[in-house]
Structure 1
Amino acid sequence: MASKCMQKPHAIFLPCPAQGHIMPMMHLAKILHSRGFHITFVHTEFNHLHLIRTGAIDPTVEIEGFCFEAIPDGLPQPADANALPDSTESTMSIFKHGLATLRELIRRINGDSQGGPPVSCMIRDAFMSVAQPIGDEFGIPDVAFWPMCGGSFMGFFHIDELIQRGYLFKDANCLTNGYLDTCIDWIPAMPGIRLKDLPTFIRTVDPNDIMLDFSIKVAQTLLKASAIILNTFDELDHEIIEAANHKFRLQRTYTLGPLFALCNQIPNDNLNSVKSNFWKEEMECIEWLDKIADDTVVYVNFGSLAVLTPEQMKEFAWGLANSNHPFMWFIRPDLVSGGSAILEREFLEETKGRGLIAGWCAQKQVLDHPSVGGFLTHNGWNSTLESIHSGVPMLCWPFFGDQQMNCRFACTVWGNGMEIDSDVKISERERVEGAIKELMEGEKGKEMRKNAMKWKEKARKAVEVGGPSHISFDRLVNDLLVMKR
């Protein structure tokens, strides 16, 4: 047997069990694997089986130095085999049911000479904060992965201070009486930030709210982490990350984004067959785009978690139809609350020939297509970062979590986004129609497109050899080899 000093480093990955968290962690796992790390990627039992069903994981294919494990989340199986459990419930349930299995998994790996080298570090999603003590138990570095933008990173660090300063909601009227527009002028590197831009978990009148308490603990465990990895790049978020490093005395932060682009730098990637999409990709959409003129298509996708009411679905559809622009709209099976996402026959007839409705596709491939001229998005961080890297301007319709922060920065700092204004006293369909026309035809849309192309160049340079994200990754690899708990 090889001596301990000759063994490969072994990183065990623990993502939050949601699509938008798993994907960037998979990219990180792949690029570490390309640098000689043995990888154990841990899914929940439900997600693992679901990914096998969709073909994202092929259990018959063995890849040297890269393996999957599963831990229970304790939730009942959905009646619909294609339905996904609520990601928040799944995360909270892992805290009760999955950690004992994770401990046993690490013990098994460390005691089994045939199961790969001993675990040398744990790379966990920042939202899997309850796993933080495991690093102490096994004497391995606890490396936290932050899956959002720098603004949200700073925002989460200040939730506790917001409460201490008395900014917690007094009553439900705070949602509608203008209180959300309150400017917070004391958070470093974020001038002009408002309550409405901060993580939506603060929007509660209950000081004991579960998600509020959870968010505070996420930030607290970040301060204890051996290192923090962020899926962003320096030119986009440098000032904020530096301010956070200074204020909270963070010793090791690594900006590696966009991770999907850094992952594409891997030569002869033998992990191309390993994916992390919860839904099967419909590649016919690329063939449809090939027939459409450049910069004319509005691409629409609300991500993997956002949910519309049936009325919102109807209003949005007709706003899209009335804009008279060709569009591609990805509609998940669970996009509409309380029922299936069925569109009216009149809408389908009205948009026949200029609209494509699909279930799911490789989003980055769509955004890179020359026919796509704009992206109507919920502003999840993965979607926002992919849009930046592709140089596609965004129409922003954020729902919850960190999406409001991403929207704020796209619209007021980066200049490549425009929010669909919910305060305008017209119908929802008219707001959608007007925003699409401004994006695709108006002067503001032209300016957004110029800014989007500038950020595209910066994002692509970040991951090139010698670029800041590439250099940061080299530093991470070297540090992980010597890092101690």
Structure 2
Amino acid sequence: MGSKSGVHVLVVSFPPSQGNVNPLLRLAKCLASKGLLVTFSTTELIGQMMQKYNSCINTTTTVGDGQLRFDFFSDGSNVDELKCYELDAFMQSIDKNALMHQMETVGKDSFTHLINKQAQEGRPVSCIISNTFTPWALDVAAELGIPSAVLWIESFAVYSAYYHNFHGSASFPTIARPDLPVHLPSMPVLNPDEIPSFFLHPSSPYLGLRDAILGQFKNLSKAFCVFVDSFEELEHEIIESMSNLSPLKPIGPLFKSPQVANSSVRGDM
């Protein structure tokens, strides 16, 4: 079943964390409420986790003037073997770097198949919106000739840090110089403990996740827009400094998005 407008937006979320699923699901519900058909997609394992708390995931749900549905793809994991895990236990049990590599190989092909299936079933995808950990989704969209965008779930300030790190337009702490201060446009000088150390510090144990985020910047030319979960009044100067570098659009804060009718779907896992 399609939307009245004929527009079908496919949003894709990864990895399995509430902090990634919830903002994208809020955006999906906002888009659906405007009269669009929106498909929320993630891996089969995350889908099973979500189904524990959402009986409506197996059906198409009316949200405002549009519809929201779910469709899942394989990342190569043994779903039956892992389905007994709760989210926290699952995240502690896996090699996150290996998981990201697996997603880019097995998951990418499975995601392509899922997109083709939409057309075969009469609801071709009009646009793909991915989050920051799925840079390969932009590759798939480009290969299939589908417009794509990215949802950045952190602030413009954090986006600026990753952008300038990727492009080498600012210096960041290194193993040789761990105390190096960071100078970014329209921001005060940052000490090493004030940058996103989870990924950008040289001692970060999550290099696979970091590489996935930075890989998104390599692919941003394939996206028509980067939606940022922030707002103009909060970060006006930083937004101005980035306006000529990336196609950015503030759409936040998503957690304050107005409640829409018949929207009981949640991202609990």
Same fold (TM over 0.5): yes
Distance in structure 2 (CA, Å) of the matches to 1:31 and 1:166 = 37
Change (3 A) 1:16 1:166: closer
The TM-score normalised by the length of structure 2 is 0.83
The letter for the 2-side match of 1:153 is: Y
Change (3 A) 1:158 1:105: same
Distance in structure 2 (CA, Å) of the matches to 1:197 and 1:99 = 34
Gapped regions of structure 2 (runs ≥ 5): none
The letter for the 2-side match of 1:101 is: S
The equivalent of 1:100 in structure 2 is: 109
Question: 1:258-303: per-residue Cα shift (whole Å, max 9, x none)?
Answer: 1122242x3xx1122x10012xxxxxxxxxxxxxxxxxxxxxxxxx
Tell me the C-alpha RMSD between the 2 structures. Answer: 2.8
**Is the contact between residue 144 and residue 229 of structure 1 (CA under 8 Å) also seen in structure 2?**
yes
The equivalent of 1:259 in structure 2 is: 254
CA-CA distance at 1:108 after TM superposition:
1.3
Change (3 A) 1:66 1:164: closer
**1:158 counterpart SS class:** helix
Higher relative CO (Cα under 8 Å, sequence separation at least 6) belongs to 2
Change (3 A) 1:60 1:129: closer
Distance in structure 1 (CA, Å) of the matches to 2:235 and 2:171 = 26
The equivalent of 2:50 in structure 1 is: 51
Question: 1:332-354: per-residue Cα shift (whole Å, max 9, x none)?
Answer: xxxxxxxxxxxxxxxxxxxxxxx
**Correspondent of 1:70 among 63, 69, 72:** 72
CA-CA distance at 1:183 after TM superposition:
2.5
1:111 to 2:120 alignment: yes
The equivalent of 1:379 in structure 2 is: none
The letter for the 1-side match of 2:114 is: L
The equivalent of 1:82 in structure 2 is: 86
**Is the contact between residue 15 and residue 125 of structure 1 (CA under 8 Å) also seen in structure 2?**
yes
CA-CA distance at 1:50 after TM superposition:
1.1
Distance in structure 2 (CA, Å) of the matches to 1:168 and 1:214 = 19
**1:236 counterpart SS class:** coil
Change (3 A) 1:52 1:197: same
Higher Cα radius of gyration: 1
**2:19 counterpart SS class:** helix
The equivalent of 2:127 in structure 1 is: 121
CA-CA distance at 1:213 after TM superposition:
3.5
CA-CA distance at 1:58 after TM superposition:
3.0
**Is the contact between residue 28 and residue 38 of structure 2 (CA under 8 Å) also seen in structure 1?**
yes
Distance in structure 2 (CA, Å) of the matches to 1:276 and 1:192 = 37
The equivalent of 1:270 in structure 2 is: 262
**Is the contact between residue 100 and residue 212 of structure 2 (CA under 8 Å) also seen in structure 1?**
no
The equivalent of 1:198 in structure 2 is: 195
Distance in structure 2 (CA, Å) of the matches to 1:126 and 1:270 = 29
The equivalent of 1:189 in structure 2 is: 186
The equivalent of 1:237 in structure 2 is: 235
CA-CA distance at 1:224 after TM superposition:
3.4
**Is the contact between residue 124 and residue 144 of structure 1 (CA under 8 Å) also seen in structure 2?**
yes
**Is the contact between residue 95 and residue 130 of structure 1 (CA under 8 Å) also seen in structure 2?**
yes
Change (3 A) 1:189 1:61: same
Question: 1:320-367: per-residue Cα shift (whole Å, max 9, x none)?
Answer: xxxxxxxxxxxxxxxxxxxxxxxxxxxxxxxxxxxxxxxxxxxxxxxx
Distance in structure 2 (CA, Å) of the matches to 1:244 and 1:69 = 35
Change (3 A) 1:57 1:221: farther
The equivalent of 1:138 in structure 2 is: 144
The equivalent of 1:39 in structure 2 is: 38
Change (3 A) 1:166 1:27: closer
Question: 1:47-92: per-residue Cα shift (whole Å, max 9, x none)?
Answer: 1111112x23434654243211111122343485324533845444
The equivalent of 1:8 in structure 2 is: 6
The equivalent of 1:439 in structure 2 is: none
Change (3 A) 1:154 1:82: same
The equivalent of 1:218 in structure 2 is: 216
Gapped regions of structure 1 (runs ≥ 5): 279-485
Change (3 A) 1:223 1:60: closer
CA-CA distance at 1:166 after TM superposition:
7.3
**2:242 counterpart SS class:** helix
Distance in structure 1 (CA, Å) of the matches to 2:59 and 2:203 = 50
Point out 4+ residue stretches in structure 1 off by more than 6 angstroms: none
Question: 1:193-231: per-residue Cα shift (whole Å, max 9, x none)?
Answer: 22322222232269xx54453343122223431111111
**Is the contact between residue 171 and residue 182 of structure 2 (CA under 8 Å) also seen in structure 1?**
no
Distance in structure 1 (CA, Å) of the matches to 2:258 and 2:106 = 32
Distance in structure 2 (CA, Å) of the matches to 1:162 and 1:47 = 35
